[in-house]
Amino acid sequence: MEKSIIIVGAGIAGLSAGCYARMNGYKTTILEMHNIPGGLCTAWERKGYSWDISMHMLTGSCSGPFYRMWEELGVVQNREFYYRNEMARIESLDGKTLAFSTDRKKMEDQMLKLSPADAPLTREFISLIFGRDMMKAASLKPNELINFFDSLKTWPVILPLMGKFIKYGKQTFQNFADRFQDPFLKQAVRFFIDSPGWPMLKFPTVALAGFMKSAVIEAGVPLGGSQKVVFDIAELYKNLGGVIEYKCRVKDLIIEDNHAIGVKLDDGSERRADITIWAGDGHTLIFNILGGRYINNRIETIYREWIPVKPIIHVMLGVNLDLSKEPSRLIFELEEPITIAGEEHRWMNAIHHCFDPGSAPAGKSAVEVWYATDYDYWEKLSKDRAAYKNEKKRIAEFTIAQLDKRWPGFTSQVEVIDVPTPATYVRYTGNWKGSPDGWYITTDNMRDQAPLRTLPTLSNLYTIGQWTAPFTGTVIAALTGRQVMELLCKKDRKRFVTKK
Ligand SMILES: Cc1cc2nc3c(=O)[nH]c(=O)nc-3n(C[C@H](O)[C@H](O)[C@H](O)COP(=O)(O)OP(=O)(O)OC[C@H]3O[C@@H](n4cnc5c(N)ncnc54)[C@H](O)[C@@H]3O)c2cc1C
């Protein structure tokens, strides 16, 4: 008889687990609190404009170890991807520009011209980001099943990088960027990876070494957007015989003698299964639902010391202007800064998706501006509806005025304004502190990447998704779903199958 599995959450991790579970003959039901699948991997649509969040860079879209997983999940077949020739362009008020070009020579020449005094460091930076990458050493296999021979296969990738491991050890990218003497270069290079404590080298996925190749040149943007990708995975899951129930919020686990035997829903009903897979927010499960009863030192350390990725307030704009000739990601210095949630922002991060014809009506552009912000501030403000609305309005007006300086006439052409905040993220996905991507990867947690798959002394419950390891993105979130199913097959003495 098929074993039954309940999966909580139809984000990319839950959908991935569901597909692999069906491929391997488990009876599955995904319970999702929202009325659509996708979680954070989604898009906003208003009046013909669509603002795609999530897959701005899909690692493994054309090659590498993750390509196989995306192929199994039907993501890469029959889909076009856009490959950037520029990751972002930085512009200062005094007219200096640096484009993070995917052309090695172009990027190096710009940096050398901007600051000849920084030539040695520029060359070091360029040779790192365009150099050998560690991605080839990554594996779809769970750590628990990796044997000596699997490790041996990674040595040809790792050995040539040993010198770099020794040189950079526990260095952060931010410390590295601070070594540039030229003030503009110092600032601009920091935007290359805008994440605190980012390790220079991280094994085995994305690191500074080879970043341009693995995270930009070979990481496409799916045309049609992230939401289309998840809708297609949800369709595959249903075609495999899986069941998804929407508007079902799980509020509790049913536990007997430290075995998870099912879940309780908001409406008071119960669903029982042999196995429960939690693909939703980690903090909600561990601390709110389980009241911190199933934790150990590692889990305590994670929740005490790791840093959740800062939430974002977006200003989404639909504008009757064709920005397709403009950089698709522009970071420019502001004449006057803006303070949001007590933090001053001197640079504006504007993105458009004109490369995707589905993102806006012909000749128009969907523009998105991000400000990383503080969660507690927005949570508190969202309780006072008038103040919340006014603050969003202030930020939107400021943003539009700055974009008007960069693109004169912008203000009069704005047709749609939408301002989702960290509180919006929580409302739609339940993610702790509105985090868009779980935990930051830092030099402190980079060695502790084994995904948190189970909780101590609680059997039949597995955890997957963006809270189970640092810096997951959609790739590792989906991978954790695949790996848990591979481990369950091993436990049930089944051969792990990855086809229909
Ligand atoms: C602005 C932005 C840009 C990003 N850029 C990239 C990028 O370029 N590349 C990349 O790979 N990743 C990117 N990411 C990150 C990526 O989208 C996420 O890491 C990933 O989608 C997380 O998937 P998940 O399934 O782990 O979690 P989620 O997407 O949070 O899914 C969890 C699901 O569980 C449901 N749920 C939660 N609690 C319950 C409950 N109690 N009962 C029922 N259902 C519940 C939620 O509604 C949700 O659907 C970006 C994210 C954002 C927001």
The predicted-structure confidence for 9-44, as pLDDT tens digits, reads as follows 999 999 999 999 999 999 999 999 999 999 999 998
Contact 477, 465 (CB under 8 A): yes
Q: Rounded to whole angstroms, how far apart are CA atoms 411 and 33?
A: 38
436 C-alpha vs ligand 1 centroid, how far in Å? Answer: 7
Question: How is residue 80 written in tokens?
Answer: 């076009």
Give the mean model confidence (pLDDT) for residues 153-166: 82
> What is the per-residue pLDDT for 166?
78
Higher pLDDT, 166 or 100: 100
Q: What is the mean pLDDT of residues 447-467?
A: 94
**C-alpha distances out from residue 394 to 338, 378, 387, 399, Å:** 10, 14, 10, 9
* Domain identity same for 237 and 131: no
User: For residue 251, which atom of ligand 1 is closest to its CA?
Assistant: 41
Residues 91, 212, single domain; the answer is yes
Residues in the chain: 500
pLDDT digits (tens, 9 = 90+) for 40-56: 999 989 999 999 998 88
Same domain, 299 and 445: yes
Note whether 373 and 298 are same-domain residues. no
Residue 50 covered by a domain: no
- 162 and 91 co-located in one domain: yes
* Structural domain includes residue 375: yes
pLDDT attached to residue 203:
60
Look at residue 284 in the predicted model and tell me its pLDDT.
98
Q: What is the pLDDT of residue 164?
A: 78
- CA gap 240, 235 in Å, rounded: 9
Residue ending a domain, among 158, 186, 217, is 217
Largest CA distance in the chain: 70
Find the range with the poorest average confidence among 165-179, 268-282, 392-406. Answer: 165-179
Closest atom of ligand 1 to CA, residue 14 = 25
CB 402 near ligand 1, within 6 Å: no
For ligand 1, atom 38, the nearest C-alpha belongs to 280
Q: What was the pLDDT predicted at 64?
A: 85
| H, E, C per residue of 307-349 | CECCCEEEEEEEECCCCCCCCCEEEEEEEEEEEECCEEEEEEE
- CA dihedral over 167, 169, 173, 174, signed as positive or negative: negative
- The reply to whether ligand 1 has any atom less than 6 angstroms from the CB of 56 is yes
Q: Is the CB of 164 under 6 A from ligand 1?
A: no
At how many degrees (to 10) do helices 119-129 and 104-114 cross?
160
* Residue 482, both tokens: 């695949």
For residue 268, the CA-to-ligand 1 centroid distance in Å is 26
Closest-CA residue, ligand 1 atom 7, reads 55
Give a yes or no: residue 55 inside a domain: no
Q: Which one of 384, 402, 432 terminates a domain?
A: 432
Q: How confident is the model at residue 204 (pLDDT cuts 50, 70, 90)?
A: low
pLDDT in tens, 285-306: 999 999 999 999 999 999 999 9
What is the four-CA torsion angle of 46, 49, 51, 52, rounded to 10 degrees?
Answer: 110
SS3 99: strand
**Binning pLDDT at 50, 70 and 90, where does residue 2 land?**
confident
Domain count along the chain: 3
Kindly report the backbone phi and psi dihedral angles of residue 133, in degrees, each rounded to the nearest multiple of 5, phi listed first.
-115, 160
Say which residue the tokens 């599955």 belong to: 28
Region 344-371 average pLDDT = 96
Q: What is the structure's pLDDT at 210?
A: 81
Contact assessment for residue 434 and residue 380, using Cβ atoms and an 8 Å cutoff: no
Claim to verify: residue 95 and residue 211 sit in the same structural domain: yes
State the DSSP H helix or E strand holding residue 270, giving kind and residue range, or none if neither.
strand 270-272
Per-residue model confidence (pLDDT) at position 255: 98
pLDDT over 90 at 499, yes or no: no
Whether 481 is in the pocket of ligand 1, judged by its Cβ within 6 Å, is no
Q: What is the mean pLDDT of residues 160-170?
A: 79
**39 C-alpha vs ligand 1 centroid, how far in Å?**
4
Residues 90 and 111 in one domain: yes
Query: 4: helix, coil or strand?
Result: strand
Taking the centre of ligand 1 as the mean of its atom positions, its distance from the CA of residue 422, in whole angstroms, is: 13
- What is the Cα gyration radius of the chain? 23
Task: Tell me the C-alpha distance between 211 and 207, whole Å.
Answer: 6
Domain end, chosen from 415, 432, 449, is at 432
pLDDT exceeds cutoff 60 at 366: yes
Whether the per-residue pLDDT at 206 is higher than 60: the answer is: no
Closest atom of ligand 1 to 312 CA is 1
Domain assignment of residue 451, yes or no? yes
Range of the domain at 131: 84-217
Ligand 1 midpoint to CA 38 (Å): 7
Question: Average pLDDT, whole number, for the chain?
Answer: 94
Q: What is the DSSP string of 358-371?
A: GGSSTT-EEEEEEE
Q: How far apart are alpha carbons 232 and 215 in whole angstroms? A: 23
pLDDT band, very low/low/confident/very high, at 202 (cuts 50, 70, 90): low
Same domain, 272 and 341: no
Measured between alpha carbons, how far is 115 from 183 in angstroms, rounded to an integer? 9
Is residue 65 in some structural domain? Answer: no
Residue 207 and residue 239 in one domain = no
By mean pLDDT, which of 45-59, 90-104, 203-217 is the weakest?
A: 203-217
pLDDT of 266 reads: 96
Position 353 in a domain: yes
% of residues, the chain, pLDDT over 70: 99
Helix ranges, 73-161 (H): 104-114, 119-129, 148-158
Mutation probe of ligand 1 site: the residue of 20, 248, 373, 474 with most atoms within 8 A of C-beta: 474
